Amino acid sequence: MLAVQLAALLDGDPEGAGEALDLVTGFDDALVHGLARLAEERAEALAALAGAFADTPIGGRLAEAAAGVASGSITEDHLTALAGGRAALLGAVHDALLADLDAALGRERAPWSAGPEPEDDEGGPLGGVRSWLRELAITGWRGVDHDLVSAADQVVEALLAVPGRRRLAVLLDGLAAELRASCPIGTMEHLPVRRWADLWTRAVLLSHDAVPSGAPRPAETVSGRLLILGVDVHEHGTAVQFQVHAVLEPTGGGRPRLVRTGVTVAKVDTITGPAVWKLPHRHGALLTALADRRCLDVTDLPLLDSGDLLWDDDRALPGKPADPFTTARLHLAGALAPAVPPLDRVPVRVAEPVLVEDYRVTKDGSFDLGGGVLAVDTERLPACGPLTPKLVAGSTACVGLIRWDGGRWLLQPLAVQAKAKKETVEVATGDWALGPTDPKAVKAEARAGDPVAVLRERAGRLLRK
Amino acid sequence: MIERSPGGGAVREHLSRVRVVPPVQPRKLAKVPFVELADGRLQGVVSSGSDISRVYVSSIAAGTHAYNCSTNNNRPCGGLYGAPCKHLRALAAEAVLQYGPGRVARYLRADVPEGADLIDCLDGAHEPAPAAMVFSRFLRHLAYLEVPDTGVPIPELHWFPASGTVA
């Protein structure tokens, strides 16, 4: 990312984004206090949200939902309509942000084309999910107590047993854990209002009968060389996702493509830090490529319409050494970026790989490129890797993801180059994929023992009695 | 960094990727495989030192500090002589490692002077508490390790960035 590209990106918010976000904020505020006690101004906020869609095909349903909820008729249909309206507004903001980012970077994005419908699967306990989400909306975040949070446990357990409902299960488990940790919420000073409304909205949409639950079917299968840019680690108490950003060079030539791939594993909160890398042990090729900075030769990997490769370690072999900075320099300018599926369009999903160099690190840790200052999100460096805020502050080049949150653009580092003793060193989030390499981290790990092994032993002895 | 930006808490209200649950610290799980602050109690499971297939369920209630320790089949722990047994002491010590002393003391509503052990600052009495529920929560906890991994992307996890690296 060049100074002139950053300057273009920072040059004003997309038109209309502010107004759209104000409508979202009004709705989110209603969820804080609960729809059962809707004061006049919050009823107006719902009406305003509905009003924004007056000239669209969903305008009628939204108006009916806003009026219904204001008069105390809080039905699942009404909530689905309102959640749909909120998601559509944020979807529009997402599209505008991504268009601005693509324009600034000169990145070409493939047009959206839906892959084949997923297989139909058993439905899972969607009724239970919807009634829990309805209770949350009626009660409001301020009124949530231990009993209401605990009601989610059974639902999550049942969802986890249905493979096609993993997204919903992981989402609800994360939300429930936050509500539990925040109880009593009534006395909390600042609630994560936007965040919880985001999570609630997505859960309402994913629990709708129209959302297919089966395994996604690939749009095509691809073969070629996968050049890794970095790994973005997502984690809450009971799940961790290793999302790899890479450039795919198709076999036989053709335009390189930006893709994502990765693995999600279930865990518990006490499995944390570098120990989380023990969980995806089945995926040795992927872990080796990350730890040893090598490319992957892949054969017939399914590619989804979202630009995600469905990872299958049996169809991949670690290949030659491949450095993320070289990959970024060679390919980021010309690779074709994937379209984003409609349901996934929300600002938090914006995570575009970039290479940033020639910057000066400011006092607060931002990168000053001369033409503008890019904030760096050093609080999102995963504890399972060696990348620290100090290394980022001392870096001379960085491969990272451009994100957007709270009204501003941020850089989330995935790998940095830094000068140490006249040598250039590289540090990346995936360096410890096969275990820590830093003596201090090795020692800390030895001290903590192997939590995965201990819990597996306990599970083996106690679970099937 | 975001939390320190101008506006502080008000900014937090407009962030989507903010951390809500404080991270837990790694600790040795061999002796006390399960600890949680839930249902108004500090509760957990302590592995027996003598019998590898036996576990104790220990709990301390928030506020009253009433404590209990029994096997998972509800047999009272033989170590409870009018004071917390070694299992309860281990539970409290491991909870402090996992959550930090401040969070545990706040949850239990206990006054713990600087340098004191949490367990010595509780003034509750032994009161029977249901062990079966805690034990079933432990089994549910263990069951996560049996959930298969998946290569299907979970876009919802973008709301949950990993963090917690030490500077």
How many angstroms separate the CA atoms of A233 and A414, rounded?
Answer: 9
**Chain B interface disruption, residue of A182, A195, A310, A349, most B CBs within 10 A:** A195
B88 Cβ partners below 8 Å, 6+ apart?
B58, B60, B67, B69, B119
Q: Determine contact, residues A269/B144, Cβ cutoff 8 Å.
A: no
**Residues A295, A227: contact at Cβ < 8 Å?**
yes
Fold (topology level) of A220-331 = OB fold (Dihydrolipoamide Acetyltransferase, E2P) (2.40.50)
Query: pLDDT confidence of A122, banded at 50, 70, 90?
Result: low
A234 part of contact set with chain B, CB < 8 Å: yes
Could you tell me which residue, A442 or A263, shows the higher pLDDT?
Answer: A263
Question: Between chains, do B27 and A180 touch, taking CB under 8 Å as contact?
Answer: no
Alpha carbon distances (Å) from A340 to A112, A217, A218, A225, A414: 7, 16, 15, 23, 22
- In chain A, where the domains are located: 1-106, 117-215, 220-331
Predicted confidence (pLDDT) at residue B6 exceeds the cutoff of 70:
no
Instruction: Give the model's pLDDT for residue B39.
Output: 84
The predicted structure's pLDDT at residue A465? 56
Q: What's the pLDDT score for residue A121?
A: 66
Any idea what DSSP says for residue A114? Answer: -
Helices H / strands E in chain B, number of each? 4, 4
- At A304, is the secondary structure helix, strand, or coil? coil
Instruction: Supply A112's token pair.
Output: 């959206």
Least Cα distance to A6 among A378, A388, A395, A376 occurs for A376
User: Which tokens hold the place of B77?
Assistant: 């722990």
Per-residue confidence band for A332, with pLDDT thresholds at 50, 70 and 90: very high
Tokens 């973005």 found at: A232
Nearest CA among A103, A181, A81, A286 for reference residue B103: A181
The confidence score (pLDDT) of residue B5 equals: 43
Across chain A, what does the average pLDDT equal?
A: 93
CB atoms within 10 A of CB A19: 10
pLDDT at residue B3, rounded to an integer: 39
Contact B28 A389 (CB under 8 A): no
Strand pairing category for A308-309 and A257-266: parallel
pLDDT tens readout for residues A93-103:
999 999 999 99
Residue whose pair of structure tokens reads 């300018």 in the numeric block: A333
B-proximal residues of A, 283-312, CB under 8 Å:
283, 304, 306, 308, 310-312
Structural contact between residues A134 and A203, judged by C-beta atoms closer than 8 angstroms: no
Top mean pLDDT of A50-54, A179-183, A437-441, B19-23 is at A50-54
Q: What is the DSSP string of A191-226?
A: --HHHHHHHHHHHHHHTSTTS--SPPPPSEEEEEEE
Q: Do you find a cis peptide bond into A338, omega within 30 degrees of 0?
A: no
pLDDT of residue B10: 64
* pLDDT above 70: residue A331: yes
Measured between alpha carbons, how far is A374 from A105 in angstroms, rounded to an integer?
14
| pLDDT for A228 beyond 50 | yes
Write the pLDDT tens digit of every residue in B53-105. Answer: 889 999 999 999 999 999 988 899 988 888 899 999 999 999 999 999 999 99
For the cut 50, the answer to whether the pLDDT of residue B4 exceeds it is no
Residue A40 CB burial class (10 angstroms; 0-12, 13-18, ≥19): exposed
Rounded-to-integer distance, Cα A432 and Cα A287, Å = 9
What is the model's pLDDT at position B56? Answer: 95
Taken as a whole, chain A contains a residue count of 465
Q: How many CB atoms lie within 10 A of CB A456?
A: 15
Express each pLDDT in A392-402 by its tens digit: 999 999 999 99
Q: Is the pLDDT of residue B167 over 80?
A: no
Q: What is the distance in angstroms between the Cα of B10 and the nearest Cα belonging to chain A? A: 7
Instruction: Give the mean pLDDT of A303-328.
Output: 96
Tokens of A210: 């129209």
Dihedral angle sign, alpha carbons of residues A282, A283, A287, A289: positive
Question: Can you say whether residue B122 is alpha, beta or left, with left for phi > 0 and alpha for psi between -120 and 50 degrees?
Answer: beta
Distance CA A50, CA A289 (A): 49
Task: Please classify residue A329 by burial: count the beta carbons closer than 10 Å to its beta carbon, then call 0-12 exposed, 13-18 middle and 19+ buried.
Answer: middle
- As beta bridge partners, residue A352 has A402
The answer to whether B107 and B37 are in contact (CB under 8 A) is yes
All residues at 6 or more sequence positions from A41 whose CB lies less than 8 Å from its CB, including other chains: none
Which tokens sit at B102? Answer: 């401040």
**Which tens digits make up the pLDDT trace of A406-434?**
999 999 999 999 987 888 899 999 999 99
- For residues A208-235, one letter each, b for 16 or more C-beta atoms within 10 angstroms of the residue's C-beta and e for the rest, the string is eeeeebeebebbeebebbbbbbbbbbbb
Which of B138, B145, B162 comes nearest A235 by C-beta? B162
For the record, the structure tokens of A162 come out as 């249905």
CA dihedral for A436, A438, A441, A443, sign (positive or negative): positive
Determine the pLDDT at residue A422: 82
Selected residue of A25, A200, A379, A402 to mutate for chain B interface (largest B Cβ count, 10 A): A379
Select from A221, A207, A42 the least CA-distant residue to A131: A207
- CB contact (8 A) between residue A461 and residue B52: yes
pLDDT of B165: 58
